[in-house]
Amino acid sequence: MVRLSALALALSVIAMPAGAMGPSTDDTHCRQLMATFDRLVPEYDRSGARRDRVLGELECLKGNFAGGEKLLEGALRSVGYKPPAG
């Protein structure tokens, strides 16, 4: 019986959606904001928006998702894009 329960548990973990086992939703939202910015603004851009994007990424990497998202959303707004709600 214990083997059957362990097998059922293992199968349920395998069957979970990838997002359920992946990074936190905050981390995912940070990555989405960074990817959106990177699609919109050329890498060689040296504006304040690029600086805020880099600072936002650093905050997200440190685990300060709220601060990082705020910087990333500000960077997107400064280039004329309304960021989606996270």
Please tell me the predicted confidence (pLDDT) of residue 15: 43
pLDDT in tens, 63-77: 999 999 999 999 999
With beta carbons less than 8 A apart as the criterion, state whether 20 and 31 touch. no
Surface-to-core class of residue 16, CB atoms within 10 Å of its CB (0-12 exposed, 13-18 middle, 19+ buried):
exposed
Lowest-confidence region among 4-8, 40-44, 55-59: 4-8
Hey, where are the domains in the chain? 24-86
Report the predicted TM-score, pTM, of the whole model to 2 decimal places.
Answer: 0.68
pLDDT in tens, 1-34: 445 344 344 444 344 444 444 445 889 999 999 9
- What is the C-alpha to C-alpha distance for residues 12 and 40, in angstroms, rounded to an integer? 39
